[in-house]
């Protein structure tokens, strides 16, 4: 393949958008166990048969579906895009989910490169978090995605760090509280406090847990031993990251930051277009925290993707 053809393939939008539309229409699910023609599918789904046939033909060149004697069928590769595959891909690609909708903001990447600001508001008229607050189905899909994203990593988070050192931990922006619940289960003497804009009320039913609806830009619950930030700071530019760390520093407790500290350029671009944020290195987190009197006390690698940075008040 020549250089020009390589560049054309790299730049083409036909394939990534075809995959997203196929998942959004649930085509891999529909064709998993029974063949169908484009005409049959179009009638079922109220689609244009000619346009659908073009989409299916392209999916066939990608190995997502295959032609059979009676239409199209999902391949073993395409089965990874079904909702039941339980690998998170369907939730990431469906344009009606929070993640799929956010990816479409990449069409405004030039705006982010010019300004350093998020592209999401440029496309949708408001920020990502405001969009989730206004559309419950987006919030639900985002929470589901986060639960899936951390499901395999949470046991390693719990085993890879000595949480027993603390009698009380506030999970700042902790979402559904899955990690905090796992920490409490592993350490019977630890008390937990979940803080988020819309935390699940049932989390507070745990005998050693408390729930507060609130923002990490406001004063945090006082008198805890440790304040935990999991994948929070990479969602924000430096200005907002400083505001979050300033609130943590006010408490006087240990600040535990779980993030990727080996930035991947593709994911950092996702953070840029969604939030105006980015992944950072250990030195960059150290520099942010130092401005609030927080001293980096240690770095613990929890998984291949994430490390825990522990800060104390200097």
Catalytic sites, residue numbers: 234
Q: Could you tell me the CA-to-CA distances from 289 to 153, 197, 237, 249, 264 in Å, in that order?
A: 25, 24, 14, 9, 22
From the list 193, 228, 224, the residue with the least C-alpha distance to 309 is: 228
* Maximum Cα–Cα distance across the chain: 72
Instruction: Give the integer Cα–Cα distance in Å for 252 and 171.
Output: 15
Q: How many CB atoms lie within 10 A of CB 141?
A: 21
> What backbone phi and psi angles, to 5 degrees, belong to 31?
-100, 10
C-alpha torsion 264→260→177→196, nearest 10: -80
294 and 246 Cβ atoms separated by less than 8 Å: no
Q: What are the b/e assignments for 39-67, b being 16+ CB within 10 Å?
A: ebbbeeeebeeeebbebbebbbeeebbbe
Helix, strand, coil percentages (3-state) for the chain, rounded to 5, are 50, 15, 30
């Amino acid at each position: 393949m020549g250089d020009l053809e390589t560049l054309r393939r790299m730049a083409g939008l036909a394939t990534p958008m075809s995959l997203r539309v196929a998942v959004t229409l649930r085509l891999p699910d529909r064709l998993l166990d029974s063949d169908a023609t484009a005409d049959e599918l179009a009638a079922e789904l109220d689609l244009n048969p000619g346009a659908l046939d073009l989409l299916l033909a392209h999916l066939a060149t990608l190995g997502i579906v295959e032609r059979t004697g009676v239409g199209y069928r999902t391949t073993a590769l395409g089965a990874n895009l079904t909702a039941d595959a339980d690998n998170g891909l369907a939730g990431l690609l469906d344009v009606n989910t929070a993640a799929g909708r956010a990816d479409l903001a990449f069409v405004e990447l030039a705006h982010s490169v010019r300004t350093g600001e998020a592209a999401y508001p440029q496309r949708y008229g408001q920020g990502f978090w405001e969009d989730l607050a206004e559309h419950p189905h987006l919030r639900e899909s985002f929470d589901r995605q986060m639960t899936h994203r951390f499901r395999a990593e949470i046991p390693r988070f719990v085993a890879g760090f000595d949480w027993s050192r603390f009698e009380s931990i506030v999970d700042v922006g902790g979402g559904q509280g899955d990690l905090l619940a796992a920490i409490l289960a592993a350490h019977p003497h630890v008390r937990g406090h979940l803080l988020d804009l819309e935390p699940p009320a049932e989390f507070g039913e745990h005998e050693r847990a408390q729930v507060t609806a609130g923002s990490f830009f406001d004063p945090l619950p006082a008198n805890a031993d440790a304040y935990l930030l999991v994948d929070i700071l990479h969602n924000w530019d430096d200005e907002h990251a400083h505001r979050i760390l300033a609130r943590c520093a006010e408490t006087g407790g240990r600040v535990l930051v779980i993030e990727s500290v080996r930035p991947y350029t593709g994911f950092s671009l996702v953070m840029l277009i969604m939030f105006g944020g980015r992944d950072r290195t250990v030195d960059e987190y150290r520099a942010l925290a130092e401005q609030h009197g927080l001293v980096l006390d240690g770095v613990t690698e929890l998984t291949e993707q994430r490390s825990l940075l522990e800060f104390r008040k200097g």
